[in-house]
Amino acid sequence: MKVTLNQDVLTDNNSAAAFLREQFQQSKTLVINVMSSPGAGKTTLLEKTIAELSQDYRIGVIEGDLATEIDADRIRAAGAKAVQINTNGGCHLDARMVAKAIPEFDLSEIDILFIENVGNLVCPSGYDLGQQHKIAVLSVPEGNDKIPKYPVMFRRTELVLINKIDLLPYLNFNVELAEEDLKGINPVSKLLKVSATTCEGMDHWFNWIREAYGKL
């Protein structure tokens, strides 16, 4: 299913997001919008996820960055189709950018599409990309105070991956406090502890994806 883009859907973010949502529903594609600070480990997380799930699912990735194809190249090397969007200084992806990238995929051949947003704990949270799921990655070195200090992000996501837990022995990060803080601002959000580098805890994340796909 190659998507043909009607220019009307590009008039505003909501029209483009609604158009995307309909495409994703028709093609039965699970779409996950992955957001975090720069360097929280989104791309490594996706590399490991592709390695684990690509036997069972056909995976595609949209990479959002201000500049370079560094991340898309990493995803291609991991074995998935990747389309890079460069925002040229823009601080987040919007649905119009995603709608322009979508025709580069054949959606009927993509079971799971990850949208790796621009590294930014503020701006991406406000933009609907037509995804079914919005998740946030928070890495241990960023520190405990990020959940209260960036509430707009953690209020709008349904899953927080605490990443880089392999660094817990070297850093002052309290996972229980993060769980409490998250409960305070978003009682329904889940939290999983992972290390994309060592793969510790990643099975829970893989199961979360399998379940989300099962519910499509």
Residues of this chain that interact with its own copies (CB under 8 A) are 37-39, 65-68, 70-71, 89-91, 118-123, 139, 141-143, 145-146, 148-152, 164, 167, 170-171
Q: Which is nearer to its own copies, 154 or 213 (CB)?
A: 154
Question: What six digits make up the tokens of 12?
Answer: 């505003």
Least separation in angstroms between residue 41's CB and its own copies is 8
Question: What six digits make up the tokens of 13?
Answer: 């973010």
Q: Which is nearer to its own copies, 13 or 29 (CB)?
A: 13
Least separation in angstroms between residue 36's CB and its own copies is 9
**110 closest CA partner among 204, 30, 192, 8:** 30
Q: Which is nearer to its own copies, 89 or 187 (CB)?
A: 89
Question: What is the rounded CA–CA span in Å between residue 77 and residue 149?
Answer: 36
Least separation in angstroms between residue 100's CB and its own copies is 20
DSSP calls for 4-40: P--GGGGSSHHHHHHHHHHHHHHTT-EEEEEEESTTS
Q: Which is nearer to its own copies, 122 or 216 (CB)?
A: 122
Residue 86 per-residue DSSP state = E
Q: Which is nearer to its own copies, 102 or 140 (CB)?
A: 140
Least separation in angstroms between residue 190's CB and its own copies is 21
Question: How far is C-alpha 182 from the geometric centre of its chain's CA atoms?
Answer: 18
**Segment (H or E) for 52:** helix 42-53
